[in-house]
Amino acid sequence: MDFPDNIGTPFPGMVFKNKKDKDSPMNIVTVIGAGLAGSECAWQLAQRGIPVILREMKPEKKTPAHTTEYFAELCCSNSLRSNQLENAVGLLKEELRRLGSLILSCADETAVEAGGALAVDRHGFAALVTDRVKWHPGITLVPGEVTEIPEGEVVIASGPLTSDALAERLQALLGENCDLHFYDAAAPLVSAESVDMERAWFGSRYDKGTADYINCPLDEAEYDAFWQALTTAQEAEVHGFEDGKVFEGCMPVEVMARRGHDTLCYGPLKPRGLKDPRTGREPYAVVQLRKDNAQGSVYNLVGFQTHLRFPEQKRVFSMIPALHDAEFLRYGVMHRNTFLDSPRLLDRYYRLRSEPRISFAGQMTGVEGYVESAASGFLVGVETARRLLGRPPVNFPQETAVGALGLYVSNQAVTHFQPMNINFGIMPPLGYRVKGKRNKNAELSERSLTIIEKLKEEVLP
């Protein structure tokens, strides 16, 4: 990568493209990390006239998953998932597209054929983002690893594989009780409306407290078939940098199942104290689902942290009779992932409540996925620019996918916070009945895009 000549600066290592930025550093924003979130954020700030210093440790130092010198490197799949408006990530893309996102425009320009999905030419995409960011007159690049949190306005977008030195600084900033996680062990999430309540019931163990759980019973034959499938299902690849720590203290459900035919019946599938109201008896095994959001539209499978491949999770967990048609809003994952306990730390604009000059963006805020990371970078860029320009924030409401993500990660009512993909479950329902899931989702998207169209004039630079 070529960098512009240093034109002289009071800050060591800092390289300004525009002389006027050197002379008035008060409104400069430092963005750490030029991944999906950092590139989008830097671009949005610069497009609004806010000078940006973008600090990226590549090519000097690379995370264990990044291999090129490009920004916005897609370190695994080249797919940005569905492009259809009946799918929440399709809606999120369309919102970003209409609002002038850098990542979406580069993705559209480098798209390869992928049916209803948006997949890109991986290198072409990253090279285009790099080029646009690198040559933007308002963005000044400072290469090298960041090991201290800089002074002034800062956006930290260093991703799921944030370097150790910076992670240590963050831990010190966030305090003893360490609201920073290094590994992700999440159980799958399903939408409440997709659970077959003819085959499940609401209740709690021994009827204690309120009937908060959805209990999904299995008889002996159903359990046996489920156990056989679970213990032989294909696991996801373990990356070289993900050592045994990923699974420490949190055993995947398939590993527990392999310990013995009935081990799960003494663990997460324990039926004790759960009498099925239709039979008056305790079933052979019971899978419990616990509410994952305040509205009760999303439920997690309790104790089902798993390392199975996503198609295998769908195949095996759909064998639980009440989940035969379940809509999986997020699959279980167990991998290296640096992320914050955001509901306790951030506001809806991804700003640190205790120190608002610092914002976070991308996967480390607990949004999950390429597009979600770009969306958080977009929101931080727009809102930070507005604040520095003395304008009020744009209140992206929960009806929009961009707004719903920010509101979800900053929602203090979420107690066991786990990274989240965008899904319609975190957006408010329509308030009227629409026949068929596709039609309903299409209406949810239409509702959101009507709002986005109204906000567009205010948002676009």
Ligand X SMILES: Cc1cc2nc3c(=O)[nH]c(=O)nc-3n(C[C@H](O)[C@H](O)[C@H](O)COP(=O)(O)OP(=O)(O)OC[C@H]3O[C@@H](n4cnc5c(N)ncnc54)[C@H](O)[C@@H]3O)c2cc1C
Binding-site residue set: 33-38
Rounded distance, CA 270 to CA 253, Å? 13
Question: Taking CB under 6 A as the rule, does residue 283 contact ligand X?
Answer: no
Select the span of 151-159, 208-216, 287-295, 408-416 touching ligand X (CB under 6 A): 151-159
Q: Which of 374, 385, 405 is nearest to 71 (CA)?
A: 374
Q: Which is nearer to ligand X, 304 or 360 (CB)?
A: 360
Element housing 54 (H / E): strand 52-56
Q: Which residues contact 303 (CB under 8 A, 6 or more apart)?
A: 187, 253, 267, 268, 269, 288
- Number of Cβ atoms within 10 Å of the Cβ of 389: 11
| The token pair that represents 190 in the structure block | 């399903």
Count of residues engaged in binding ligand X, rule: CB under 6 A: 33
User: Phi and psi (nearest 5°) for 157?
Assistant: -135, 50
Question: Taking CB under 6 A as the rule, does residue 420 contact ligand X?
Answer: no
Question: Taking CB under 6 A as the rule, does residue 166 contact ligand X?
Answer: yes
| The token pair that represents 349 in the structure block | 């604009």
Question: Taking CB under 6 A as the rule, does residue 77 contact ligand X?
Answer: yes
Question: Taking CB under 6 A as the rule, does residue 103 contact ligand X?
Answer: no
Question: Taking CB under 6 A as the rule, does residue 162 contact ligand X?
Answer: yes
| Burial zone of 149 (CB within 10 Å; 0-12 exposed, 13-18 middle, 19+ buried) | middle
Select the span of 158-166, 173-181, 427-435, 439-447 touching ligand X (CB under 6 A): 158-166
Question: Taking CB under 6 A as the rule, does residue 159 contact ligand X?
Answer: yes
Residue nearest to ligand X (CB): 35
Question: Taking CB under 6 A as the rule, does residue 370 contact ligand X?
Answer: yes
Question: Taking CB under 6 A as the rule, does residue 158 contact ligand X?
Answer: yes
- Number of Cβ atoms within 10 Å of the Cβ of 33: 31
Question: Taking CB under 6 A as the rule, does residue 369 contact ligand X?
Answer: yes
Work out which of 90, 150, 160, 283 binds ligand X, going by CB under 6 A. Answer: 160
**Torsional sign, CA 88, 402, 380, 351:** negative
Spell out where 242-395 has E strands: 285-291, 298-301, 328-330, 333-340, 358-360
Select the span of 14-22, 33-41, 434-442, 453-461 touching ligand X (CB under 6 A): 33-41
Of residues 233-272, those binding ligand X (CB under 6 A): 239
| The token pair that represents 49 in the structure block | 């006239």
Q: Which is nearer to ligand X, 145 or 327 (CB)?
A: 145
Rounded distance, CA 144 to CA 128, Å? 21
- Number of Cβ atoms within 10 Å of the Cβ of 242: 18
Least distance from ligand X to the Cβ atom of residue 392, Å: 27
Of residues 185-204, those binding ligand X (CB under 6 A): none
Annotated binding residues for FAD, written as ranges, equal 33-38
89, HSE (Cβ side, Cα atoms, 13 Å): 21
Question: Taking CB under 6 A as the rule, does residue 126 contact ligand X?
Answer: no
Select the span of 50-58, 118-126, 324-332, 437-445 touching ligand X (CB under 6 A): 50-58
Question: Taking CB under 6 A as the rule, does residue 381 contact ligand X?
Answer: no
* Helix ranges restricted to H, 24-101: 36-47, 88-98
Q: Which is nearer to ligand X, 37 or 455 (CB)?
A: 37
| Burial zone of 262 (CB within 10 Å; 0-12 exposed, 13-18 middle, 19+ buried) | middle
Question: Taking CB under 6 A as the rule, does residue 146 contact ligand X?
Answer: yes
Least distance from ligand X to the Cβ atom of residue 448, Å: 21
Work out which of 31, 52, 57, 103 binds ligand X, going by CB under 6 A. Answer: 57
Least distance from ligand X to the Cβ atom of residue 147, Å: 7
The residues binding ligand X (CB under 6 A) are 32-38, 55-58, 63, 65-66, 75-77, 145-146, 157-163, 166, 239, 362-363, 369-370, 373
